[in-house]
Amino acid sequence: MQFIDLNKQYALIEDELRSAFDAIFSHKRFIMGPEIEQLESDLQKYTGVSNVISCSSGTDALVMPLLAYALSKTDAVFVPSFTFFASAESITLAGGTPVFVDCNEDTYNMSLESLENAIARTIKKGELTPRGIIPVDLFGLPADYDGIRKIADEYGLFILADSAQGLGGTYKGKKTGQFGNACATSFFPAKPLGCYGDGGAIFTDDDDLAEVLRSLRVHGQGVDKYDNVRIGLNGRMDSFQAAVLISKLKIFDAELEKRNKIARMYTDNLKGVIKTPVVPDGYTSTWAQYTLTAASGGQRDKIMEALKQKDIPTAVYYRIPIHLCSAYAHLGYQQGSLPVCEDLSKKVFSVPMNPYLTEQEVLSVCEAIKGAIK
């Protein structure tokens, strides 16, 4: 069994991809070819967001809006600690300082209570100025965007949504991409919508911000291409990656439906056996990961070993919360600073999830987990 199986999907799109690649070999516009415009327009229709800026990776999709906000070292951006490193790294790369926030043990997403406490503590300490919030749609479940918007407005903060895992999810009937002042996603191959290399995109309804982002994407270019008006980066997506995404976007909703069916099957079979992921009313997940919480670290190791014996791959996202990573040791967080995510990092593990898993395979994973627990 494969953790993420790209073979079956490839078989579905192979013919279309080969002719799309042939077209690129003919026109040879490898950078900013016509596929880029097509993809941005397709994604605009898909999300309903008025500006889509494709780019080189999910990380750059986070970095560019943060560069647009012109952060300085004394600017605080609040970010959950229980996420992929790039959610926080982007803040540092753009010149700001991350302030880490704990998560909810049921949804794995940022805790609003912990967020409010972190903002209050930061203001009281007086060393950093609160500037923004990066909510993360962890494992594909959208963050609580209404709750976060309320807090952001109270303190005058921007919201940059990290939907690297969450593109295609919904919150109160609205698609991800629509939340926050801007939203970043990733098309890394293992994400629910992945290309065949690195890629990302930024979504925003703010036309002025979009114009700055398009400039930042190409070295801060101005109207005169050789008069650069700001410091930017080489942040473009290439035409081949756009062609892959144009094809995959056509089958994406059907794949999301299958992911949700598989997640329901896991939950139905594992409820009462082990703690299953919670999707609150009004949310739909993309199931970038199906993540279970064991009763203890020891139980997790036992289950993962039992599954390995049966050739069932598992993975731990995330074994070390970011506030305890060596790169951020200088910020002075200790064990116990953010107890919920520290506890989860010892107990969570993810099981195979992709739209092409068979019912048989899902049931065999569930049986193996039940066998390891009893």
Ligand X SMILES: *Cc1c(COP(=O)(O)O)cnc(C)c1O
Please report, as ranges, the residues that interact with ligand X according to CB under 6 A.
57-59, 83-84, 86-87, 136, 162, 164-165, 186, 188, 198, 200
Task: Give the nearer residue to ligand X in terms of CB position, either 160 or 262.
Answer: 160
Query: Edge-to-edge strand order for the sheet containing 158-162?
Result: 51-55, 200-204, 182-186, 158-162, 129-133, 75-80, 97-101
**Could you tell me if 193 and 252 are in contact, meaning their C-beta atoms sit under 8 angstroms apart?**
yes
How many angstroms separate the CA atoms of 11 and 1, rounded?
17
Least distance from ligand X to the Cβ atom of residue 287, Å = 13
* Assigned token pair, 365: 């994973």
Least distance from ligand X to the Cβ atom of residue 165, Å = 5
Is residue 263 exposed (0-12), middle (13-18) or buried (19+ Cβ within 10 Å)?
A: buried
Task: Give the nearer residue to ligand X in terms of CB position, either 171 or 369.
Answer: 171
Q: Rounding to the nearest 10 degrees, give the CA dihedral for residues 325, 326, 329, 331.
A: -50
Phi, psi of 184 (to 5 degrees): -110, 140
Least distance from ligand X to the Cβ atom of residue 3, Å = 15
Least distance from ligand X to the Cβ atom of residue 103, Å = 12
Least distance from ligand X to the Cβ atom of residue 214, Å = 19
Least distance from ligand X to the Cβ atom of residue 59, Å = 3
Task: Give the nearer residue to ligand X in terms of CB position, either 165 or 368.
Answer: 165
How many angstroms separate the CA atoms of 136 and 42, rounded?
24
* Assigned token pair, 283: 């949310």
Is residue 100 exposed (0-12), middle (13-18) or buried (19+ Cβ within 10 Å)?
A: buried
Least distance from ligand X to the Cβ atom of residue 290, Å = 15
- Cβ atoms within 10 Å, residue 220: 16
Least distance from ligand X to the Cβ atom of residue 244, Å = 14
Task: Give the nearer residue to ligand X in terms of CB position, either 181 or 286.
Answer: 286
Task: Give the nearer residue to ligand X in terms of CB position, either 61 or 274.
Answer: 61
**Could you tell me if 109 and 80 are in contact, meaning their C-beta atoms sit under 8 angstroms apart?**
yes
Task: Give the nearer residue to ligand X in terms of CB position, either 165 or 350.
Answer: 165
Minimal CB distance residue for ligand X: 58
**Could you tell me if 53 and 41 are in contact, meaning their C-beta atoms sit under 8 angstroms apart?**
no
Least distance from ligand X to the Cβ atom of residue 187, Å = 7
Q: DSSP class of residue 111?
A: P
**Could you tell me if 98 and 75 are in contact, meaning their C-beta atoms sit under 8 angstroms apart?**
no
Task: Give the nearer residue to ligand X in terms of CB position, either 195 or 368.
Answer: 195
How many angstroms separate the CA atoms of 250 and 43, rounded?
11
**Could you tell me if 118 and 100 are in contact, meaning their C-beta atoms sit under 8 angstroms apart?**
yes
CA–CA–CA angle 48, 219, 47 (5° rounding): 10
Task: Give the nearer residue to ligand X in terms of CB position, either 167 or 274.
Answer: 167
Task: Give the nearer residue to ligand X in terms of CB position, either 199 or 355.
Answer: 199
